[in-house]
Amino acid sequence: MKKLILSLLCSIALNVQAQERIILLNEGNWQSDNGKISYFEDGKIVSNQWFRDANKRKLGDTPNDIIQINEDLIAITINWSNIIQFISPDGKRVAETEDVPNNRKLATDGRYVYVTSYGHECGTADGYVTFTKGYVAKIDIHTFEVVATCEVGYEPEGIAYYKGHLFVANTGGYAFQEDHEYETTVSIIDAETMQLVRDVDTGQINLYGKLSQSGQYLCINSPGDYYDIPAATVIFDCEAALAGSDDCFVVLEYASTYSCTMLDGKFLAIGARFSYYTSEYKFNYVVIDPREVLATEGAGGVEESLPGTMLDDLMELGMPYGVYVNPYTGYIYATDAGSFAAAGALIQWSPEGVFLGRHKVYINPAHFLALPPDGMEFTGIESATNDAKPTTSYGIYDMRGVRMDGFSTRGIYIDNGKKIYKH
């Protein structure tokens, strides 16, 4: 009898499926070559050196962004090592691209990876291309070579893919080191031809950090100049921009240093305002509804409240350094960098904002990627389109990864492997 019970328990244990699977990039210390990956699964840290465990080698110096391209491939920018590292979902190395120096942020259409770079020279399959400003590189995911480039503004940062176009936020972040001013533009690129379509001037300087995307809408952080020009957030309408409108964005007085997309299509943002006058940070914590913000020209659509106990919990952190909502399950995460020099922490909440735990990770934990729960296919969650046309090939999923019979209400869905917004 005891053997039977033990056998049943073992069988149950073997059939337990992982639901929360989070890859977390720890930047480490700049120029110290100590970037690491933490792997979190169902309430515990499995490893704080996941890449090294799988490959018996270092990840590199200052990992800066991560994105899943398809079921088999993930890309990671490693800024100071000047490589884009490609891995499989089990953490094993696949390939590297070493021809994009000072690489920053990533986007994909499932066929190519697009990478922003602060550099002025790029190696391609046909030789080297030289730029005056920064650029976007287009990488073939089969050869891992740069096949095309497009110059944009100085020090481009965040990048998003929408309807065959790339939207690139320019910072001008080296304004005090090089002979140029801060940038204020979002560059729009035809992804097929890699030709610049136009620049949209937002009037806000230093468009720095990763973009959050909700269908046709982008959340863009503008930290100002850290002296006299205050931080702000730009809510950008890609659809309106593609139609040629210059009235395609609204500026909010809140910062969005760290932001992410929630299951209902709103943006969750933590703003860290730094002043060189005081050497102090001031924080704001907001939920932004991009549709309402644009419809009211900024008069509505911003809530200074968070789910459950999140606001109180976040205010207790030493230094918030990232925020993320698992697009498959709705669980919420944030990171605490503390002193920037010692181990940081990963904090988890339920979708309702109930605190679930704090976990020790590595130095400067910053960038997230959720893997699909066991038994669920990758849905192309990181790519975006507005083609709300049902498909019979892969089906329609909600943002929790649950298969749907159709579009039930307004919101974000996964249709044919693409993230869409249903009006």
Per-residue pLDDT of 239-269, as tens digits, reads 999 999 999 999 999 999 999 999 999 999 9
Q: Please list the residues that pair with 397 across neighbouring strands.
A: 403, 414
- Count CB atoms within 10 A of the CB of residue 212: 27
pLDDT reported for residue 418: 54
Q: Distance (Å, rounded) from C-alpha 189 to C-alpha 167?
A: 7
DSSP lists the bridge partners of residue 148 as 138
Q: Taking a C-beta distance cutoff of 8 angstroms, is the pair 231, 223 a contact?
A: yes
Q: CATH topology for 99-305?
A: Methylamine Dehydrogenase; Chain H (2.130.10)
pLDDT(157) > 50: yes
Residue whose pair of structure tokens reads 């095309």 in the numeric block: 148
What residue spans define the domains of the chain? 99-305, 385-423
> φ, ψ for residue 239 (rounded to 5)?
-60, -45
pLDDT of residue 40: 98
- Please check the confidence at residue 152 and state whether its pLDDT lies above 90: yes
CA dihedral 153→159→162→165, nearest 10 degrees, is 30
Instruction: Say whether pTM exceeds 0.75.
Output: yes
Instruction: Kindly report, residue by residue over 94-116, the tens digit of the pLDDT.
Output: 999 999 999 999 999 999 999 99
**Nearest of 131, 188, 129 to residue 154 by alpha carbon:** 131
Question: What token pair was written down for 356?
Answer: 């679930």
The amino acid that residue 239 corresponds to is E
Both tokens assigned to 314: 């976040």
* Single-letter amino acid, residue 121: E
Please report the pLDDT score of residue 335 as a whole number. 98
Query: What percentage of the chain exceeds 70 in pLDDT?
Result: 85
Average pLDDT value for the chain = 89
Of 416 and 350, the structure prediction assigns the larger pLDDT to: 350
- Rounded-to-integer distance, Cα 50 and Cα 38, Å: 6
pLDDT above 70 for 222: yes
Rounded to whole angstroms, how far apart are CA atoms 237 and 259? 17
* The two three-digit tokens of residue 176, written as one number: 């005090």
- Give the count of beta carbons closer than 10 Å to the beta carbon of residue 22: 21
At residue 359, the pLDDT reads 98
What backbone torsions phi and psi does residue 281 show, to the nearest 5 degrees? -105, 140
What distance in Å separates the CA atoms of residue 135 and residue 58, rounded to the nearest whole number? 27
